[in-house]
Structure 1
Amino acid sequence: MFEGHYVAWKHGIQHRDITPSNLMYKMDGDDMVGVLIDFNFTQRCAIGDEEGGAGRQH
Structure 2
Amino acid sequence: MNEQLKDFAGILVAFVLAGDCLLHLYWAKGLIWPSPDQLTLSQAVLNGNKTRLFKQLL
Considering fraction of residues, name the structure with more strand. Answer: 1
Bigger RCO of structures 1 and 2 (CA < 8 A, at least 6 apart): 1
Considering fraction of residues, name the structure with more helix. Answer: 2
Give the structure-1-normalised TM-score: 0.29
Who wins on radius of gyration, i.e. which is larger? Answer: 2
